[in-house]
Structure 1
């Protein structure tokens, strides 16, 4: 989530491509792959996880 928030803050919106890697102080994070996985598994995310994504303006309502 931190890597995605950093990306969105820097880029001003939009989602990273699948190959995007975000650099954080604790190392590299494959943000693009992570977001693709979240989208593919959105039906298994709990309400808190969906809320956290919605707070970043990501809404995959089914």
Structure 2
């Protein structure tokens, strides 16, 4: 799984769209049957959480 890293230089609309996509992916991972190894899902969720925090911070900064 690829987590895209963005900064404030990326248009706000694109950051929000990416954020929505990553939230959807996080939801999928948390609701999957054990098709994916538990450790792999936890690793993916941790990476997504860090990425979501970055996007959120960039959006808040852009709106400030």
TM over 0.5: no
Which TM-score tier does this pair reach, normalised by the shorter chain?
0.3 to 0.5
**Larger strand proportion, structure 1 or 2?**
1
Which structure has more relative contact order (CA 8 Å, sep 6+)? It is: 2
Structure-2-length-normalised TM-score: 0.33
Structure-1-length-normalised TM-score: 0.34
